[in-house]
């Protein structure tokens, strides 16, 4: 039986993109504690890129962040796909699998992350699918709070707010939360709520991992979660709030578009590490 490497319990990570394969040192040099990939982008990769990827998974700690599981879809769970995910995780000895608390398919894939209704029925449906995924993967997973641009609750079934819905899913499924700090900020502007209150409402004992990223400002009251820009000051502040609530748990910098050279990305991962060090220093006093 393949034994997975322990998931990160501290430190700073970076989302691995193909543009970075040739820039990362083969041996970890202390700048990054872990790397994250979307399994869908790497499962069938062979040739030169596959060998480069294998060299990294043998030396670095990895986490995964899926794109296609579609936990909120009305269609049956694609258990064959989940089995392929398990094979990928086992092959590369990756312990942690995370996914989005959203839907991205029905009869076919939509290639976007769509919001789900914040209802009691939705809690039961999604939690049951999460439990099924955890049974197949033989791993506890974490789900991410997602950015969304219009609520889908309508009529009398619209019973829960976003925070209450997430809390209920975590409890019903007995899974963990990947707290995406940028998504909290984006949603707080687009849907007009207090992001600090939202973060402090999340169950701290279920948050073991965080994301931080940049976004695009379409208007004063409309932000778009692009992962294509540097992290802005209000999001850095919310990361401090999250650390105050949860502790300095592992945090990943996401950058999917307009990817600068690695040294520029490392400036932001160092800023994350500096904030973690300050929290750990205060805690040790």
Task: Please tell me the distance from the alpha carbon of residue 12 to that of residue 251, in angstroms, as a whole number.
Answer: 5
Q: How many CB atoms lie within 10 A of CB 89?
A: 21
Q: Are 116 and 158 in contact (CB under 8 A)?
A: no
CATH numeric code, 12-284: 3.20.20.150
Q: How many CB atoms lie within 10 A of CB 192?
A: 8
Mean pLDDT by 10 residues, the chain (285 residues): 80 95 91 96 88 93 94 92 97 96 69 81 96 97 93 66 96 98 96 97 97 91 90 97 96 95 97 93 63
Closest-CA residue to 279 (of 235, 239, 243): 243
Task: Please tell me the distance from the alpha carbon of residue 73 to that of residue 151, in angstroms, as a whole number.
Answer: 16
pLDDT value of residue 121: 92
Q: Are 39 and 280 in contact (CB under 8 A)?
A: no
pLDDT value of residue 283: 63
Quick one: tokens of 164?
A: 């209450």
Task: Please tell me the distance from the alpha carbon of residue 253 to that of residue 212, in angstroms, as a whole number.
Answer: 5
| Non-local CB neighbours of 153 within 8 Å, separated by 6+ positions | 117, 118, 119, 159, 160
pLDDT value of residue 110: 54
Q: Are 36 and 63 in contact (CB under 8 A)?
A: yes
> What's the chain's length in residues?
285
Q: What are the residue boundaries of the structural domains of the chain, listed by start?
A: 12-284
Residue 105, SS3 per DSSP = strand
Closest-CA residue to 97 (of 140, 135, 59, 56): 140
Strand partners of residue 100? 144
- DSSP of 115-138: ----SHHHHHHHHHHHHHHHHHHT
pLDDT value of residue 262: 96
pLDDT value of residue 2: 64
């Amino acid at each position: 039986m393949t034994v997975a490497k322990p998931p990160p319990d501290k430190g700073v990570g970076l989302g691995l993109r193909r543009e970075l394969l040739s820039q990362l040192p083969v041996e970890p040099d202390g700048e990054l504690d872990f790397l994250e990939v979307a399994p869908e982008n790497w499962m069938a990769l062979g040739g030169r890129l596959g060998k480069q990827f294998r060299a990294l998974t043998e030396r670095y700690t990895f986490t995964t962040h899926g794109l296609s599981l579609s936990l909120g879809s009305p269609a049956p769970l694609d258990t064959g796909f989940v089995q392929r995910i398990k094979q990928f995780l086992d092959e590369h000895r990756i312990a942690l699998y995370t996914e989005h608390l959203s839907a991205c398919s029905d009869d076919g894939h939509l290639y976007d992350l769509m919001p789900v209704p914040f209802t009691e029925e939705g809690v039961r449906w999604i939690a049951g699918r999460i439990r099924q995924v955890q049974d197949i993967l033989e791993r506890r997973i974490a789900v991410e709070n997602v950015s969304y641009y219009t609520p889908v609750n309508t009529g009398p079934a619209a019973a829960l707010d976003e925070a209450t819905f997430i809390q209920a899913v975590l409890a019903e499924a007995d899974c963990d939360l990947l707290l995406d700090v940028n998504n909290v900020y984006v949603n707080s502007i687009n849907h007009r709520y207090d992001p600090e209150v939202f973060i402090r409402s999340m169950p701290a004992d279920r948050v073991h991992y965080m994301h931080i990223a940049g976004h695009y400002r379409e208007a004063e009251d409309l932000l778009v979660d692009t992962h294509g820009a540097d992290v802005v000051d209000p999001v850095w502040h919310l990361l401090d709030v999250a650390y105050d609530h949860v502790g300095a748990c592992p945090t990943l910098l996401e950058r999917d578009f307009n990817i600068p050279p690695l040294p520029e990305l490392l400036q932001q991962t160092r800023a994350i590490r500096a904030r973690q060090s300050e929290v750990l220093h205060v805690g040790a006093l």
